[in-house]
Amino acid sequence: MKKNTLKFLLCFAFIFYSLFIKAQTTAPDEDTGSYTTCNADGANATRTSNDLPNPVNLGTIDDRSCYANYKESNVYGKTWGIYNITHNSNNQDSNSLQPRIERALSASQKTGIGSFARFSGIFRILETGKTSSSGSDGSYIAQAKGKHTGGGGSADPAICLYLAKPVYGTGANSGKQVSFNIYAERIKYRGGSGSGREIVFLKNVLKDEETTFELEIGFKQDPNDTSKKIHYCNAIIGGTVFDWNVPEPERATQSKIRYGAYRVKGGRAQIRWANTMYQKAEVDNQSLSIEDNQLSFSSIKTYPNPTNGNFTIQLNHIDTASISIYDVLGKKVFQKTNVKESLEVVNQNRFKTGIYLIKVSNRNQKVYYNKLIIN
């Protein structure tokens, strides 16, 4: 018993010591000096004029800070994008908006099921905006965006922002930012800002801790109502999953992602990004329209559906037809012409688990759709 207690205490002391040492560490690529609003070498003429020729981080630069321009460092075996901004340093919007150095990734412009924008990378946070008001503290490290129909809110609205707020140390570390609480700032309705967003705590990361980050925003079928879809915004931060469904999915028109450093209502923010990757898919929305579904119910019957084996597509009141089957990415995976009355499709592992769209065209080029689920 005593031996176990000793082991426990030693273990605890080691962990505590490790955290203490880590938290005290100054990052090798940290900007540790006193800071100003503007520096001559950070005063880019336009938002995109001072990017590196071949930046290691993906996306189009949006530099709205005269404190620094985008730079890179080679530390911890990786090349890191450096995003440093200070209070009041926006040199692009007449100081009317918060400073930022971010990268914009090309939007997924379709809203069909299977459309998505997916970003991943590794971040380190060295410093975030500091104010005396807790509601104004912190800086955003990434955000999901997307326009919507019907008006309301910003012309280019944020949907879910990932906000890092500073946590200060005690004793020798008093007044120093030793770790950061990561929050999701999510809209409560389309166009919501300020009180129209909710701020949800996600997790704490240490200063300079290499943290993996994945963010995917896109469209999937509502499992409770196949005539509806979900606009999801899912993040995985340091291996922990934080899924969320965006309000009013039917109003969404696109899915976009930005990352870097954005907002510093006091002090300075320093974010680093490495190993950035980006992928997107754009799937037309036709499969879900009510009209298509109504037509399909009377004109095409697919059974069994869902299926894990062979299936039959039966045509009602359609003469000779051409049948094509598409996966969720819109890729044609099957085709058969001159089909009459019905067609049995032998699966033979040709169809992986997922949702497929069956397209039936008759001689007059009238098109009918049906949905197929392989499970």
Q: Which of residues 72-101 bind Ca ion (CB under 5 A)?
A: none
Question: What's the min distance (Å) between Cβ of 73 and Ca ion?
Answer: 17
CA dihedral 252, 256, 257, 258 (to 10 degrees): -110
> Which of 83, 262, 368, 369 is labelled catalytic?
262
Q: Is residue 44 close enough to count as binding Ca ion by CB under 5 A?
A: yes
Beta carbon nearer to Ca ion, 44 or 299: 44
Q: From the CB of 265, what's the least distance to Ca ion, in Å?
A: 18
Among the options 67, 70, 83, 145, which is catalytic?
A: 145
Per the rule left: phi > 0, alpha: psi between -120 and 50, beta: everything else, 17 is alpha
Q: How far is residue 214's CA from residue 194's CA, in Å, rounded to a whole number?
A: 25
Shortest approach of Ca ion to residue 71 CB, angstroms? 10
d(CA 54, CA 266): 31
Looking at 29, 51, 63, 127, which residue binds Ca ion (CB under 5 A)?
Answer: 63
Neighbours of 347 (CB within 10 A): 12
What is the total count of residues that contact Ca ion (CB under 5 A)? 5
Stretch that binds Ca ion, among 63-71, 128-136, 152-160, 302-310 (CB under 5 A): 63-71
Choices 7-15, 57-65, 145-153, 352-360 (CB under 5 A): range interacting with Ca ion? 57-65
What secondary structure does DSSP assign to 240-263, as a single string?
EEE--B-S-GGGB--BEEEEEEE-
CB of 100 to Ca ion, least distance (A): 10
Of 65-73, 205-213, 272-280, 362-370, the segment contacting Ca ion by CB under 5 A is 65-73
- 262 in catalytic set: yes
Looking at residue 266, what DSSP letter applies? S
Residue 331 falls in the annotated catalytic set: no
Q: Pick between residue 65 and residue 255 the one whose CB is nearest to Ca ion.
A: 65
Which letter does DSSP use for residue 107 in this model?
Answer: P
* Least distance in angstroms from the C-beta of 192 to Ca ion: 30
Show Cβ contacts of residue 297 under 8 Å, excluding neighbours closer than 6 positions.
none
Judged by CB under 5 A, the residue of 42, 114, 218, 267 near Ca ion is 42
CA-atom Rg of the chain in angstroms? 26
Alpha carbon distance 90, 64 (integer Å): 5
What is the C-alpha to C-alpha distance for residues 234 and 214, in angstroms, rounded to an integer? 8
**61-69, 199-207, 293-301, 306-314 -> range binding Ca ion (CB under 5 A):** 61-69
Q: Catalog residues that contact Ca ion under the rule CB under 5 A.
A: 42, 44, 63, 65, 69
Give catalytic residues, as residue numbers. Answer: 145, 262
